[in-house]
Amino acid sequence: MNKPIRVVSVFCLVLFMALLVNSTYLMYVRADSLSDDPRNRRIITATFSRERGAILVGKEAIARSVPSDDQYKFQRTYSQPFKYAPVTGYFSWFSQTGVERSQNEVLAGDDSRLFVTRLVDLLSNSDPKGGNVLLTIDAAAQDAAWAGLEALPGDAQGAVVALEPTTGRVLAMASTPTFDPNNFASHDFGAVADLDEQLNNDPREPLINRAIGTTLPPGSTFKLVTAAAAIESGNYDAESMVPGGFRYQLPQSTTTIGNYDDGNCGGRRITMTQALQVSCNVTFLSLANELGTEAMADQAEAFGFNSTSLEDLPGQATSLYPRDMDAPQTAMSGIGQSSVTATPLQMAMVAAAIANGGDVMRPYVVEEVRAPNLSVLDRTDPQSISKAISSSTADELTEMMVATVADGTASPAQIPGMDVAGKTGTAESTGDRPPYAWFVSFAPADDPQVAVAVLVQSSDTSPDEIGGGRLGGPIAKSVMEAVINR
C-alpha cells in the first residue's frame, strides 16, 4: 500500500502548496488592491482613529487630533477653521480635501519617509502616529488676507493669494465664502453627509478654494502678460510709443472697443508706461493683435498658463490661453478677455515672476514634513519651472508697475516710504452681475518679498466702484505690509 500512500503524500503536498501560494497572493500581491476598495471600512476606520499629525503654521497647529472618548479615539480639530479652510481642507470619515488630502500619507503615518517611526511604533507595540506638516503660510499675511476678504461689503466672493517671489512659497491663501472643517471632522457621520450635500448644493460654492479652483477672465491684469510679450519681442520697451486713443476697431469686425473711462489714454501715441498706468485698452488690444496668437500664447504659457504647477493642493483649475483663437479673439485676449481665464494663483505667479527677474518658481504650500517627534524628515526645495521673461524685461515691467501704483490706477496699494509695483483689473462679467475686480502687486519693488493677487468675484458694490483697484488694492496692500513688517 506504500505506493498509493506516496501518491497521496504528493497530492497533499500540492494541496498545501496551493494554500501557501494563494495566501501569499492574497495577503501580499492583492493586499494593495483590497486596500483601495472603497468598501474596505478597515482602512477608513484605521485612518480615522489614528493620532493624525498636525498641520502647522509657524508654531501654531491649525489642525490637530485631540483624544476623544468614543471608539475613534481621536477628534480632528481646527483652531481657525474659516481662515485656513481653503488650505487645510477637511478630514472626514468619507474623504479629505486640501492639505489633509495631499499630505494624507504623511499625516496618517503611512508615508515611506516615516518608515523608521512606523518601525519603532511596531516594535514598541504603540499605536502609529502621523507625521506633522509645516506650511509655508505666513500667519500675519493670512490674517491680513482673511480680514480683507471679510471686510468686503455684503455677501462677497473672493480670494487672495500671496507668494514669495524668489521661492514660490505660498505666504497666504484665503477664499470666501468658506466652511468650517470642524463640522466635517465630526464623528456624527449622518450630519457630515447632510452637511456635505448641503454645501455642495449651495450656489455660493463655499467648498471651492477660489484661490486655485476658480478661473475667470483676468481682465486688465493680463495686460502685464501682453506688455511682457511686447517687450520680449524686441520691438518695444517701457518708453516706446504705442497706439492710444478713444477706440479700437477689432480686426475682421466692425466692433469697436473703448477704454474703461471712455477717455483717450492721453493721446493718439503714448508711452508703454503711460498705457499701463491708465490701463489703456486700445494699446493692449492693438499690441496683442500685432503680436499674434502664437507669441501671446507662448508668453502666457511661459508664465504658467495651460498647466498646473502647484502640487500640494488638489482641486486646481487650469488657467487657459487657448491657441486656436481667431484675430478678434486674440486682440481681446490682450486685455484679458475673450477665452482667457486665470486663477488668482496664476495671476500671483505672473506678478511673482516679474518680481523675481523673470523666473517662474513652482508655488508650494508644504514647507516641511516632520516626524511625530518633530524632527525634520523632508523640506521642499524651491524649484524654477520656467524663464518667462528676461531680467531686463522684468525690470522694465517693474518700473511700469511702480508707476501704475505711484501715479496710476493702482494707487490704493501705495505704501508710504516704499516703491510698490501693481496692476488693477476689471473683467466683464455676464448679464447684470457686477464685473470681477482683480488686483496684482508686489513689494518692495527693488527687493520683492511678496507678490499678491486679489480676486473679488462678486460683492454688493456698484459696478463703477469696482474699477481702479478700490476693492482689491487695500487687501493687497495690507497683505504686503504684513509680510514686509514681520
- The distance of closest approach from Cβ of residue 375 to other proteins in the complex, given in angstroms and rounded to an integer, is 25
Which stretch, 11-19, 226-234, 422-430, 447-455, contacts other proteins (CB under 8 A)? 11-19
Contact 413, 328 (CB under 8 A): no
- Note whether 1 binds other proteins by CB under 8 A: yes
Of 196-225, binders to other proteins (CB under 8 A) are none
- Note whether 406 binds other proteins by CB under 8 A: no
Which stretch, 3-11, 296-304, 308-316, 390-398, contacts other proteins (CB under 8 A)? 3-11
Report how far residue 38's alpha carbon sits from residue 43's, in angstroms, rounded to the nearest whole number: 9
Query: Nearest CA to 259 among 240, 278, 237, 235?
Result: 278
- Minimum CB distance to other proteins smaller for 46 or for 151: 46
- Minimum CB distance to other proteins smaller for 7 or for 376: 7
- The distance of closest approach from Cβ of residue 93 to other proteins in the complex, given in angstroms and rounded to an integer, is 15
Query: How many residues lie near other proteins (CB under 8 A)?
Result: 39
Cα 111 to its chain centre, rounded Å, is: 24
Three-state DSSP state, 102: helix
CA distances from residue 256 to 129, 253, 481 in whole angstroms, order as listed: 64, 8, 40
Choosing from 12, 116, 193, 376, the residue that interacts with other proteins (CB under 8 A) is 12
- Note whether 112 binds other proteins by CB under 8 A: no
- Minimum CB distance to other proteins smaller for 47 or for 271: 47
Report how far residue 224's alpha carbon sits from residue 354's, in angstroms, rounded to the nearest whole number: 9
Report how far residue 89's alpha carbon sits from residue 63's, in angstroms, rounded to the nearest whole number: 10
- Minimum CB distance to other proteins smaller for 114 or for 350: 114
- The distance of closest approach from Cβ of residue 462 to other proteins in the complex, given in angstroms and rounded to an integer, is 55
Say what the alpha-carbon torsion angle 455, 457, 459, 465 is, to the nearest 10 degrees: 60
Report how far residue 380's alpha carbon sits from residue 371's, in angstroms, rounded to the nearest whole number: 15
Which stretch, 1-9, 52-60, 433-441, 461-469, contacts other proteins (CB under 8 A)? 1-9
- The distance of closest approach from Cβ of residue 103 to other proteins in the complex, given in angstroms and rounded to an integer, is 22
Which stretch, 4-12, 260-268, 353-361, 411-419, contacts other proteins (CB under 8 A)? 4-12
DSSP per-residue codes, 237-255: -TT-EEE-SSEEEPTTSS-
Report how far residue 284's alpha carbon sits from residue 234's, in angstroms, rounded to the nearest whole number: 16
- Note whether 116 binds other proteins by CB under 8 A: no
- Minimum CB distance to other proteins smaller for 71 or for 254: 71
- The distance of closest approach from Cβ of residue 32 to other proteins in the complex, given in angstroms and rounded to an integer, is 8
Query: 220 catalytic, yes or no?
Result: yes
- Minimum CB distance to other proteins smaller for 123 or for 234: 123
Of 120-149, binders to other proteins (CB under 8 A) are 122, 125, 127
- Note whether 6 binds other proteins by CB under 8 A: yes
Q: Which of 220, 319, 459, 478 is catalytic?
A: 220
Residue 354 burial by Cβ neighbours in a 10 Å radius (0-12, 13-18, 19+): buried
Identify the residue whose cell numbers are 481682465.
Answer: 219
- The distance of closest approach from Cβ of residue 12 to other proteins in the complex, given in angstroms and rounded to an integer, is 5
Q: Residues 23-62 vs other proteins: string with x where CB under 8 A? A: xx-xxx-xxxxxx-x-xxxxx-xx----------------
Residue 111, CB half-sphere, CA atoms under 13 Å: how many? 24
- Minimum CB distance to other proteins smaller for 38 or for 431: 38
- Note whether 255 binds other proteins by CB under 8 A: no
Residue 290, CB half-sphere, CA atoms under 13 Å: how many? 17
Which stretch, 14-22, 52-60, 87-95, 323-331, contacts other proteins (CB under 8 A)? 14-22
- Minimum CB distance to other proteins smaller for 31 or for 374: 31
Report how far residue 220's alpha carbon sits from residue 117's, in angstroms, rounded to the nearest whole number: 51
Q: What is the gyration radius of the CA atoms in the chain, in angstroms?
A: 27
Number of alpha helices (DSSP H) and beta strands (DSSP E) in the chain: 19, 17
- Would you say how long the chain is, in residues? 486
CA distances from residue 259 to 8, 244, 269 in whole angstroms, order as listed: 95, 10, 15
Contact 216, 427 (CB under 8 A): yes
What is the maximal distance between C-alpha atoms in the chain? Answer: 114
- Minimum CB distance to other proteins smaller for 66 or for 123: 123
Three-state DSSP state, 314: coil
DSSP per-residue codes, 315-354: -PPPPB--S---HHHHHHHTTT-TT-BB-HHHHHHHHHHH
Where do the H-state alpha helices sit in 124-162?
A: 139-150
Which stretch, 13-21, 105-113, 435-443, 455-463, contacts other proteins (CB under 8 A)? 13-21
- The distance of closest approach from Cβ of residue 31 to other proteins in the complex, given in angstroms and rounded to an integer, is 4
- The distance of closest approach from Cβ of residue 44 to other proteins in the complex, given in angstroms and rounded to an integer, is 11
- The distance of closest approach from Cβ of residue 71 to other proteins in the complex, given in angstroms and rounded to an integer, is 9
- Note whether 3 binds other proteins by CB under 8 A: yes
Q: Residues 163-192 vs other proteins: string with x where CB under 8 A? A: ------------------------------
- The distance of closest approach from Cβ of residue 50 to other proteins in the complex, given in angstroms and rounded to an integer, is 10
Report the catalytic residues.
220
**Chain residues in the site for other proteins (CB under 8 A):** 1-9, 12-13, 15-16, 18-20, 22-24, 26-28, 30-35, 37, 39-43, 45-46, 122, 125, 127
